[in-house]
């Protein structure tokens, strides 16, 4: 089948949305013809990517951004190229973004199915500016309730977002979380030495919390804007090679995710697969994965963070490590890709 994915960013951007698309697309590309349509922005930078690239068997088409609604919601015109490709299925990523509404219209025009993967866009209060919060409410009431009924299927990446989706009239909802490569389970876990954060170096990640720690902390990921200047630690460049990425995880003792907001954080599961102690902030996206004191720790403030870091760095906590590993096994892409194929009608 010829499948078109439409998403905000593509390689070499580092973000949860693209990571999910890439992991699914590269597996489907073994049997199907896969085309990705995205903006040409490299997330978190002022750089742009080439117009076309064949990457890991995936055809990637990138388009200039015509205007921005917010930091992530941007309009790019991909219609002409998508029609030229003549896909048999469109999978569009992220609810409320202009490209997803456009993808739905194109699917109806081409008389083909359109599937929406939502990516848990229902943020905790106080994160968006007031004007954006009002726009979101208006969109949900005026547009959301109308278009949700038109997608052939809605894929929720978290369980916690499903009540929100149903409240907006969404039906035919399937829960399929983000996954991690099986390679994480083929490596023997080490007893590492440092504290690790791996991901975007951005304000939403709340990394200044880590300035309060007195241990060896390693930050790895792309810098967004000048936010990194607030952090006292050296920041290492993002890693694209999977083997090197696993090695960085494996040599840490504790993984911390202090975010103000997460949808469904893959980095936590990657660390748990290597039996690392994970510590996350008290937000719904993290608490769906981490049960405090059972397979990791949750912290509410900086004092609780310091206490739990001390505990994790000084004790082995083997039972928690074992439970973390068992949790991570549920998120293998080799298992989830079968659910994806069924949801896409490929099974």
Asked if pLDDT for residue 298 goes beyond 70, the answer is yes
The DSSP line for 279-310 is: EEES-HHHHTT--BTTTBEEESSHHHHHHHHH
CA dihedral (92, 177, 287, 213) positive or negative: negative
Mean pLDDT of 270-288: 97
Mean pLDDT of 172-199: 96
Of the listed ranges 10-14, 64-68, 131-135, 246-250, the least confidently predicted one is 131-135
Sheet bearing 33-39, strands edge to edge: 52-55, 58-63, 33-39, 2-6, 89-93, 114-117, 153-156, 173-175
| Domains present along the chain, CATH in parentheses | 2-179+332-343 (3.40.50.2000), 182-331 (3.40.50.2000)
Q: What is the rounded average pLDDT for all residues in the chain?
A: 94
DSSP 8-state symbol, 251: T
Strands 58-63 and 52-55: antiparallel
Whether this prediction's pTM lies above 0.75 is answered by: yes
From 66, 76, 62, 59, select the one nearest 13 (Cα to Cα): 62
Look at residue 39 in the predicted model and tell me its pLDDT: 97
Residues of the chain with pLDDT > 90, as a percent, come to: 86
Tens digit of each residue's pLDDT (9 = 90 or more) over 139-165:
888 888 999 999 999 999 999 999 999
């Amino acid at each position: 089948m010829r499948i078109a994915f439409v998403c905000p960013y593509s390689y070499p951007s580092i973000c949860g949305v693209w990571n999910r698309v890439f992991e699914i697309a590269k597996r489907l590309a073994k049997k199907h013809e896969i085309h990705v349509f995205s903006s040409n922005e490299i997330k978190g930078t002022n750089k742009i990517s080439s117009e076309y690239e064949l990457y890991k068997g995936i055809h990637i088409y990138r388009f200039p951004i015509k205007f921005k609604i917010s930091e992530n919601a941007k309009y790019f015109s991909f219609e002409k190229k998508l029609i030229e490709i003549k896909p048999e299925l469109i999978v569009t990523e992220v609810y409320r973004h202009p490209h997803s509404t456009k993808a739905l219209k194109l699917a109806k025009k081409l008389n083909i199915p359109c599937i929406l993967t939502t990516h848990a866009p229902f943020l905790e209060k106080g994160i968006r500016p007031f004007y954006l919060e009002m726009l979101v409410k208006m969109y949900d009431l005026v547009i959301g309730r109308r278009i949700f009924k038109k997608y052939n299927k809605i894929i929720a990446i978290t369980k916690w977002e499903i009540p929100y989706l149903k409240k907006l009239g969404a039906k035919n909802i399937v829960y399929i979380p983000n996954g991690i490569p099986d390679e994480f389970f083929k490596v023997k876990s080490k007893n590492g030495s440092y504290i690790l954060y791996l991901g975007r170096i951005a304000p939403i990640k709340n990394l200044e919390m880590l300035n309060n720690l007195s241990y060896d902390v390693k930050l790895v990921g792309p810098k967004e804007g000048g936010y990194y200047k607030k952090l006292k630690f050296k920041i290492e460049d993002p890693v694209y090679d999977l083997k090197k990425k696993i090695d960085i995880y494996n040599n840490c003792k504790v993984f911390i995710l202090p975010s103000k907001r997460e949808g469904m954080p893959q980095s936590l599961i990657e660390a748990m697969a290597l039996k690392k102690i994970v510590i996350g902030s008290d937000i719904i996206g993290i608490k769906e994965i981490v049960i405090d004191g059972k397979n990791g720790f949750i912290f509410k403030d900086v004092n609780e963070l310091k206490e739990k870091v001390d505990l994790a760095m000084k004790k082995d906590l083997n039972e928690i490590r074992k439970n973390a590993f068992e949790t991570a096994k549920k998120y293998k892409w080799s298992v989830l890709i079968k659910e994806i194929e069924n949801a896409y009608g490929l099974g």
